Every structure is written in C-alpha cells, then in structure tokens.
Amino acid sequence: MAHRRCLHVLSRHAAALLSLKTPPTLPFSTSISLKGLTPFQHRSLISSTLGPTNWSHYRHFSSNKNDDEGEDVDEDEDEDEETADESYEGEEIGDTVPDLGREYTLEEKEAEAAEIGYKVLGPLRKSDRVFKKYEPAFAVVQFKVSNGDSIFTERLKFCEVNDKLILNKVLLLGSQHQTIIGRPMVPDAAVHAVVEEHALDAKVIIFKKKRRKNYRRTKGHRQELTKLRIVDIQGIEKRVEVATAA
C-alpha cells in the first residue's frame, strides 16, 4: 500500500506543476538587476512593471492531523475489497443458488425424491400398525439399520413429521441365514421408515484467517437434520429358529 500512497502524492505534485503558467519575463530594455531579491520582491517588481498577472497555483493545506490516518483507512478498505475478491476464488461461476420459494409439481417432487433415494407414501394414520417387534435382519442404506432403530439424516425435502417413507437405495441385506449384496443396489429391497422429527444439529464454528491480510471471519452453522424411525425391512427372509424341548 506504500506504493499506492507514493503514486497518489506524485500525481498531486504533477497536477500542481502542470497547472503552473510560465512566469512572464521582463522586457530586454529593462536594466534592473534582479540579483539579491527575494521571491516576493521579484514578483512585486514584475507586477509593478508589467501589471498584475494571474498565476494559478494549487496549494494543498492540511488543517487536520488525521489526514494520513484517513488514507490508511482507505487502504484498509482496499485491503478488505481485495480479500473479499480472494474469498470468492475457487467458486465456480456456474453454481446457482437454489430457489427456496419455488413451487414443485407432484412429478417434480417424486423425481427429486427418487434421485435422492426415498419415496413419500403419505401421512401416518391411526389405523396403521407399522411398528413391529425386533426382527433379526438388517439393511445398509446410508447406515446399517434394523427395525426399531432411529437415525438422523440430512434434511429430507417434501416430507413432514409422521410421514411414511420408503428408502429404496439398499446396498446390502442380511439376516441369520443369508446375506444379499447389491451391484450396487439390491433389487426389490426396501426399508420402511417414519419421519419423527425435523431438528437442528449442534452449532459448528467456522473461523477463517489470512496472515498479513487483516482478514478474519467467524461464522456459525447448524445443519438441518431429519430423524427417521425404521419400522420394517423387506426383500430378505427373516426366519426365527424356535428351540424345541428335547
């Protein structure tokens, strides 16, 4: 920033020098000696001989001690602008911000949910008996789950509390008698779940700093989560061996 200040000072002096007009010269017939005269006497002598002259000279006076501090403030602002530009480096221009107020059609909701890996069946009714006892089977979706487990995932769109879901991207199924591994998904496999809650995760502090740039940023973030209760696993046999009395 010192170079910028030097350029600013040089530009001011150059403007002042260019604005100066060439001082008039005395006629050749004048036999007055100008040696030993002060600049004020020199100018008064010229004005008395040739008449008044209008010399334009820009003079810069500073009545405030904080003028230099103001320049430092401008430099700090320039630094902030530069760091702000640097903070946007690495971001792709083609990235678009999602429109949160957009209204989706039913087909668009189903397509986007299917791309993520779930399907919304609708709200849970009182007559539905979806909760069962523990069964010796498990599935791997985003986590390893069994019926009765509760998991937290990232916020799922297009579903509300007490909605029934089907998680259809199952990677593996297992029980006491067999294991089915998908390539990469298991066909005809499904994990049924119920949305119990939409919540926020604990706050995470993000602190960024750049040395010698006067750049510090502190932000907080709470991730939106959805709590799911696993109620059933389909696509695999779940036989239970019953011990017989001898």
Q: Is residue 175 part of a domain?
A: yes
Average pLDDT over residues 45-74: 51
Assess contact for 203 and 167: CB atoms under 8 A.
Answer: no
Average pLDDT over residues 199-228: 96
Q: Is residue 51 part of a domain?
A: no
- Give me the count of residues in the chain: 246
Q: Is residue 144 part of a domain?
A: yes
- End-to-end, the C-alpha distance of the chain in Å comes to 93
Q: Is residue 170 part of a domain?
A: yes
Q: Is residue 181 part of a domain?
A: yes
Average pLDDT over residues 185-210: 95
Sign of CA dihedral 37, 38, 43, 44: negative
Over the chain, what is the mean pLDDT?
Answer: 77
% pLDDT > 90, the chain: 46
pLDDT band for position 154 (cuts 50, 70, 90)? very high
Q: What is the pTM of this model?
A: 0.56
Name 210's bridge partners.
215
Number of domains within the chain: 1
Q: Is residue 124 part of a domain?
A: yes
Average pLDDT over residues 211-220: 95
Q: What is the pLDDT of residue 50?
A: 53
Residue type, 120: V
Pairing mode, if any, of strands 190-200 and 224-234?
A: antiparallel
Q: How distant is the alpha carbon of residue 144 from its chain centre?
A: 33
Q: Please determine, for residue 24, whether its predicted confidence score (pLDDT) is greater than 70.
A: no
Per-residue pLDDT reduced to its tens digit, 103-121: 889 899 999 999 999 999 9
Residue type, 170: V
Average pLDDT over residues 129-154: 91
Q: Please determine, for residue 183, whether its predicted confidence score (pLDDT) is greater than 90.
A: yes
For 156, the domain range is 106-234
Q: Is residue 192 part of a domain?
A: yes
Assess contact for 173 and 236: CB atoms under 8 A.
Answer: yes
